[in-house]
Chains A and B, each alone.
Chain A
Amino acid sequence: MKDALALYGATLDSRLLLGTARYPSPAVLTQAIRAAKTQIVTVSLRREAGGSRAGESFWALIRESGARVLPNTAGCRTVKEAVTTAQMAREVFATDWIKLEVIGDEDTLQPDVFGLLEAARILVQQGFCVFPYMTEDLVVAEKLLDAGCRALMPWAAPIGSGRGINNLFGLRALRAHFPQTPLIVDAGLGAPSHAAAVMELGYDAVLLNTAVSRAGDPVAMARAFALGVEAGRAAFLAKPMTPRDLAQPSTSVIGRAFDEGVA
């Protein structure tokens, strides 16, 4: 497989991970997964009444898509909530993968990195493959890796904000510090150009949801993001030129017509 992405032993062609929430309909979600060519989709667990089969039909739809699932602990505010939710997700979705979220602030949905680290330690010991949703903090990243995480998911901007890269320097520094670790930007991307920019920095993949599901045409936007991710990845591999402060003519000045005193 050419330029494959390796995550916890899985080998993937696609570098676009897609959330499954807030689509206009299940049919649009299915088409968006296909258009994005995604191989990993995020899913969640929520309370359900007896007799409702909504969860089962959603799960059937996801299985039919053929995508691997990455369950989340979205909305969890404590270590205990996150750990229990991860354990429940492992049983329902039959996977050790978990996108670990421990939310610390309601306005920004910023992760509580202290709780995140504690929960990550517990879950790794229980055999989970943890994908921690984190800020771009280098020290937190180091400690999560020490705890046994083999991939990291820094935010670009607050969840659902669509703002794109909030801290370019921070994301660049994180990439430089951990060149061998799979780094997936999760949250805050709004446009395919944001995804391309992240990939040009050398990030391994992006995860997004709202930017696709709340677009005017989610299916077309899924395709646009797939192209953005592919373009950004190709550009990174092609090694972009170094920016300069002053202009440099691309056309040779030698031999220009009307020059006096030169051949």
Chain B
Amino acid sequence: MRIRVNGLERDVAARTLELLLAELGYEDQLVATALNRNFVRSKDRIETPLREGDAVEIVAPKQGG
């Protein structure tokens, strides 16, 4: 399935957001997620299905002003 992750096209096997994070090596990394520009809570990832063409954002703490 082809989706966009952090702005880049990728072929992935995962069918849920939770599985996508595991597939991409995030595991227990502290990140927040959005699907198609909508926030997805950490606890909701497991039941958030992914579909062809979806856009996923995965962000982490960063220095900021």
Contact A55 B60 (CB under 8 A): yes
| Cβ-defined contact, B65 with A92, below 8 A | no
List which B15-46 residues lie within 8 A (CB) of chain A.
21, 24-27, 29-34, 37-39, 41-42
Partner of A74, one of B24, B30, B41, B65: B65
A99 to B61, CA, bound (A): 15
Q: Is the CB of A19 within 8 A of B30?
A: no
Contact with B along A178-205 (1 / 0, CB 8 A): 0000000000000000000000000000
Contact in complex: B30, A59 (CB < 8 Å): yes
Structural contact, B65 and A159, CB atoms closer than 8 A = yes
Contacts of B32 in A (CB 8 A): 45, 87-89, 91-92
How distant is A88 from chain B, measured CB to nearest CB, in Å? 3
| Closest CB in chain B relative to A103 CB, distance in Å | 13
Could you tell me the distance in whole angstroms from the C-beta of A212 to the nearest C-beta in chain B?
A: 10
B24 touches A50 (CB 8 A): yes
Q: Does A245 contact B (CB under 8 A)?
A: no
List B contacts of A42 (CB < 8 A): 64-65
Could you say which residues of chain B place their CB within 8 Å of the CB of A38? none
Contact residues, A83-122 vs B (CB, 8 A): 84, 87-89, 91-93
Check A92 against B60 for contact (C-beta < 8 Å). Answer: yes
B25 interface neighbour in A44, A51, A55, Cβ under 8 Å: A51
Given contacts A84-B39, A87-B39, contact A43 B61 (CB under 8 A): yes
Question: What's the least CB distance linking B53 to chain A, in Å?
Answer: 18
- Would you call A48 and B64 a contact (CB within 8 A)? no
**Any A CB within 8 A of the CB of B13:** no
Measured CB to CB, the nearest residue on chain B to A55 is B60
Closest to A50 in B: B25
**Cβ-based interface call for A135 (8 A):** no
Chain A: residues with CB nearer than 8 A to chain B?
A: 19-23, 29, 42-56, 58-59, 62, 71-72, 74, 80-81, 84, 87-89, 91-93, 159-160, 209-210
* 25 intermolecular pairs with C-beta atoms under 8 Å apart: A20-B63, A21-B64, A42-B64, A45-B61, A47-B6, A48-B60, A48-B62, A51-B26, A51-B29, A52-B29, A53-B29, A54-B60, A54-B62, A55-B31, A55-B61, A56-B29, A56-B60, A72-B65, A74-B64, A87-B32, A91-B42, A92-B60, A92-B61, A159-B65, A210-B65
